[in-house]
Amino acid sequence: MATRYGKYLDENPLRPARDFYRTKRMKSQLEQEGPVFNVDLFCRVFLNKLLHRQVKLPSQATPNDYYMALSHAIRDRLVNRWMKSTETYHEQDVRMVCYLSAEFLLGKQLNQNLLHAGCWNTVEEGLEKMQLGHSLYDLMAQEPDPGLGNGGLGRLAACFLDSLATLDIPAIGYGIRYEFGIFEQVIEDGWQVERPDYWLQLGNPWEIHRPEYMVEVKLGGHTEFYIDDEGWQRVKWKADRTVLGTPFDMLVPGYNTKTVATLRLWSARASQDFNFHLFNEGDYTRAVADKTYSENITKVLYPNDNTPQGQELRLTQQYFFVACSLQDMIRQHLIKNGDLSCFQEKVAIQLNDTHPSIGVAELMRLLVDEHKMNWDKAWTITCNSFSYTNHTLLPEALERWPVRLLSSLLPRHMEIIYEINRRFLNEVRAHYPNDPAKLARMSLIVEGDDKQVRMAHLACVGSHAVNGVAALHTELVKSDLMHDFHEFWPDKFSNKTNGVTPRRWMLISNPKLSHLISATIGKDWVTDLAQLQKLEAYADNPEFREKWWEIKQENKQDLAECIYHQFDLEVRPDAIFDVQVKRLHEYKRQLLKVLHIIAQYQQLKKNPDTDIQAQLFLFGAKAAPGYYIAKLIIKLINSVATVLDEDKDVRGRLKIVFLPNFNVSVGEQIYPAAELSEQISLAGKEASGTGNMKFALNGALTIGTLDGANIEIRDAVGKENMFCCGLDVKEVKALRTRGYHPREYYNDNPELREVINQIACGVFSPDKPKLFQPIVDTLLNHDEYLLLADYQSYADCHAKMLEAYQDRDNWIKMSILNTARMGFFSSDRSIAEYCRDIWHVDPVEVEVPDEQIDIPIEAYCPS
């Protein structure tokens, strides 16, 4: 197929799609120092796994068989370290971090485990030696992304697990083993279409099934009072159904250490899968009803809660994994300590956002009802065990469950929440005796015709520490979201700015740049990101700058080829790669970017001979299935893309590519190639962001609002090395106070007015001229996220960016300084702060003698 931009692509003939991976990786910088995994030993172990696990001879094996055999070989290399880690923690009776999260967006495991096991080069050489016809990169392509998360929350949890293991912190992550993830996004006629993500279809070689640790979870029913043997009044929960939780463990190895942490994921199954009596009566549907109900709990991430059934399923899902996890923690604690009196000294439980907050009530139930502890002792243990990270200021994400739903599904928990609230409000009343309004604001219960439980309030009251995830976000939590609680417990609140792991987001995703950095300043930066500051000394070095530029251009070329092979779309590698990839939500303002692209299109139509920098606008985002406006914005993005492609006046100079099903693997391709990072959420809405950190770490410049961690990035890299635009938080509040009228901006700005008019009159939807009218109505009549107020500032800032791009030397210098000054934004630093200030956990070194790292060959291939 002839390429439209042959002069840009034909100089480097397009390689087979599989070789895209090879272009991104160079051996020398990926292999960590450590014991050698002998090539011959690897080959024998690999062939043994192929024969005995996959039951295939090489002549019969598929690429997936080879991938599975390789993965099991690498997993087995880590198992000894994992078991030694567990043994060490048990022997030393250490304090464990238990990280509760509804999401763990891990990304592919083979590349990370090869890197952390220290055997990347050995495996590559071994596969070449065996001449199987498939390279390591072919086998990597067989692995699906684990469907265990969706956005920044889940990716942060994955980064934190990596850092916990790398820093030798005793830790276990707890989550849900989603059978179908959130969904696989495909684009049909410009629309998002959701399909099941069959990531487990061919099996997951990285998980270890642990049915011996299965637990029972109760649901529904009622409670009864009784008197125990010592004369105390107790409560018994008489559930009307039970579900079994089965754990699956995944290994999380640290980098350049022997520590291997655990991610324990729970899968739901029925306590009675099959009703033989009903089956014999011919009622086949009811015979498996329990199985269907139970397995639905862990089918998908974030089931649509627009219906009562969806609400119940989502609450059931949250309670299920928390109940399983807390029972597991107590089981392990009792094995080591015998009783629960010191539980809070041995276990630090982190609530990653509000989803697991029902855990406060569940731990109280387990201590008081199941282990016969008095209330005050149980409450002390609960509060000292839990800490809570808030990740959002959006009301809809703070979760309020109807009292009627909680009373029906979790009747005992509702009683416990009422008791927690009664005692807590007595404390508040003692401090503020004449302030009923404060009592109402701080109550765990929202009164009214349809009472609700404020889950964020429950997490705050039941935790000894509450933190935000960026400096601005934490201040807004203190001043706005939880002002009364901060006033009541000022010492409970702190900031812990998010971070990202340089192992995944540099070594694996950008090996060429990693190699240049290591060759220039040494390798210590991989576990001490502050070392990147040494790069500042090279920012004015012409030779270093040229190498830096060449790597960015190669990464752009790699991404352009990947887009061509995967989507049959041709993009110009010489264009500026302007990227906005993140979850699709109105507050993140992908729509603001689209408005400005349309404005640039208008300018080119009026002056087609204008000499402008070619721009590639890359979008990637999933919209929640029930979020209509978000899905309509995706359709608009793709509709504008079609118009640009079909117009000869702009073809190639402005191009939009919407990359479907954005996930970790897609991110690994995008971040190294990006030159401009779009971080344009409305000030005060984004808690932190971590995509902004990944882009800057890889040398992209940020165009962004003063929101979330953008502010700290600006302070770190220098405002002269970033493009800031839009209203700040104080200005947003002031505008809302005096009254915001979006039509005034529409009337006063001819360029903006023409953009909106073109959308309204069907320029981008000629077959359905009114298709995008809901977007127009939202902008002109509500504009909740102030797109029109920030439009001109963004447009002016973008123009400055394009001007700056023309000064290549200075742009490269700005890029180098962005990377050099990102040391603070390491997840290693974040975790070290959590350990010091919140969890009070110390590193525990795991010692594995070198001779134990590789199990003797006789264990694999007995003679």
Amino acid at 129: K
One-letter identity of residue 271: S
Token reading at 711: 């502010």
Answer yes or no: are the C-beta atoms of 321 and 266 closer than 8 Å.
yes
List, in order, residues 6 or more apart from 316 with CB less than 8 Å away: 219, 297, 409
Alpha carbon distance 641, 658 (integer Å): 8
Phi, psi (rounded to 5 degrees) for 256: 60, 35
Task: Please check whether residue 658 is in contact with residue 579, taking contact to mean a CB–CB distance below 8 angstroms.
Answer: no
How many angstroms separate the CA atoms of 668 and 672, rounded?
7
| Cβ-based neighbours of 635, under 8 Å, separated by 6 or more | 190, 191, 192, 771, 772
Catalytic, 27? Answer no
Burial 295-311 (b: 16+ CB within 10 A, else e): bbbbbbbbbbbeeeeeb
Give the integer Cα–Cα distance in Å for 278 and 366.
Answer: 35
- DSSP string for 116-183: HHT-HHHHHHHHHHHT-S--HHHHHTTPPPP-S--SHHHHHHHHHHHHHHHTT--EEEEEE--SS-S-
N-to-C CA span, the chain: 54
List the alpha helices (DSSP H) in 443-541: 455-461, 471-476, 483-488, 502, 511-521
Q: Catalytic site residue 582?
A: yes
How many CA atoms lie less than 13 Å away from 586 in the CB half-sphere?
A: 16
Instruction: Tell me the backbone φ, ψ of residue 34, rounded to 5 degrees.
Output: 165, -175
CA distance 704 to 497: 18
**Catalytic residue among 527, 690, 778, 819, which?**
690
- 349-387 as b/e, with b when 16 or more CB fall inside 10 Å? bbbbbbbbbbbbbbbbbbbbbeeebeeeebbebbbbbbb
Nearest to 58 by CA among 73, 43, 71, 72: 43
Q: Which residues pair with 171 in a beta bridge?
A: 97
**Catalytic residue at 72?**
no
Which pair of structure tokens corresponds to residue 315? 């609450």
Cα separation of 718 and 702, whole Å? 11
Residue of 694, 714, 813, 829 with catalytic role: 694
Furthest-apart CA atoms within the chain: distance in Å: 91
Q: For this structure, is 588 an active site residue?
A: yes
Residue 737 falls in the annotated catalytic set: no
Residues contacting residue 194 through CB under 8 Å, at least 6 positions apart? 183, 184, 185, 625
List Cβ neighbours of 693 (8 Å cut-off, separation of 6 or more): 498, 499, 500, 709, 713, 822, 825
Tell me the DSSP string of 286-340: HHTHHHHHHHHTTTSSS---SSHHHHHHHHHHHHHHHHHHHHHHHHHHHHHHSSS
Strands 241-253 and 654-658: unpaired
Among the listed residues 81, 134, 391, 829, the single catalytic one is: 391
C-alpha closest to that of 845 among 116, 119, 81:
81
CA distance 414 to 422: 12
User: Which one from 155, 588, 685, 829 is the annotated catalytic residue?
Assistant: 588
Catalytic pick from 355, 552, 583, 653? 583
Q: Is-contact 78 253, C-beta < 8 A? A: yes
Q: How many of the other CB atoms lie within 10 Å of CB of 80? A: 16
Q: Are 530 and 640 in contact (CB under 8 A)?
A: no
Q: Which residues are catalytic?
A: 391, 582-583, 588, 690, 694
